[in-house]
A and B are shown apart, each in its own frame.
Chain A
Amino acid sequence: LAKTTQPISMDSYEGQEVNITCSHNNIATNDYITWYQQFPSQGPRFIIQGYKTKVTNEVASLFIPADRKSSTLSLPRVSLSDTAVYYCLVGDMYPGAGSYQLTFGKGTKLSVIP
């Protein structure tokens, strides 16, 4: 199972772009990279997912270099409501029987300051 390493916490001012980098040195060929957001006392919420290069949706962008050993979640112009914990996950997109498991790391606690 590929393990992930993220910064424990980050602070940012409102309106700034925030980049959170996740390290996954032993990512496997079939692994997808997924990011989730979690607010206190709520379940995690899917933000974005990618396999390689760059993916963008209405809330974030995900940058994945060619070696796929890391990925960077980019949140444009953050607001106070973006204060949350952000998790990077790596998992097999074609799991065999008994081999699949999504592993959440400790996550990055993002605090947005007014």
Chain B
Amino acid sequence: KAGVTQTPRYLIKTRGQQVTLSCSPISGHRSVSWYQQTPGQGLQFLFEYFSETQRNKGNFPGRFSGRQFSNSRSEMNVSTLELGDSALYLCASSLAVGSSYEQYFGPGTRLTVT
């Protein structure tokens, strides 16, 4: 079974631009979560989608948004990029919502904002 895929793997953007990252979950998984990982803050939860609905959102500004499509694929968007948005963005999929469900992480998208 194919794992979680994320595209692109690497991205370089300029301050003020916007970016869209894509995540394809494991087949059959309906929950997709997004995380931001930086050396200083570690892994931080961004949001989670299940059946095209955002179920929960972490403590990030409104510049960070996401959506999920009917095939469970998900995208996250960051508008008006700031230098501090440089990070590894990880997507994880699971069968359903709840910590008893194992999350499978993708390789991440490395975003660099200059």
Contact = CB atoms under 8 A, between A and B. Distances in A.
Interface of A: 31-32, 34, 36, 41-46, 49, 87, 89-95, 97-107
Contacts of B99: 31-32, 34, 89-93, 95, 100, 102
Contact of A100 (B4, B98, B105, B107): B98
A43 B108 CA distance: 6
B16 interface: no
B108 A104 contact: no
Given A31-B99, A94-B98, A95-B98, A101 B106 contact: no
B33 A102 contact: yes
Interface of B: 4, 33, 35, 42-45, 48, 55-56, 58, 88, 90, 92, 97-100, 102-108, 110
Find the residue from B92, B103, B106 having the highest chain A CB count within 10 A: B103
Chain B interface, DSSP helix/strand/loop, else mixed = strand
B42 A104 contact: yes
A89 B97 CA distance: 15
Contacts of A31: 99
B105 A43 contact: yes
Contacts of B42: 104-107
A92 B97 CA distance: 10
B55 A97 contact: yes
Contacts of B92: 43-44
A101 B45 contact: yes
Contacts of B58: 101
A91 B56 CA distance: 13
23 contacts: A32-B99, A34-B99, A41-B110, A43-B105, A43-B108, A44-B43, A44-B92, A44-B103, A46-B103, A87-B43, A90-B99, A91-B98, A91-B99, A92-B98, A95-B98, A98-B55, A100-B48, A101-B48, A102-B45, A104-B35, A104-B43, A104-B45, A106-B42
What are the nearest 4 A-B pairs in CB distance? A43-B105, A91-B99, A104-B43, A93-B100
A42 B108 contact: yes
Contact of A46 (B33, B98, B104, B108): B104
A59 B90 CA distance: 24
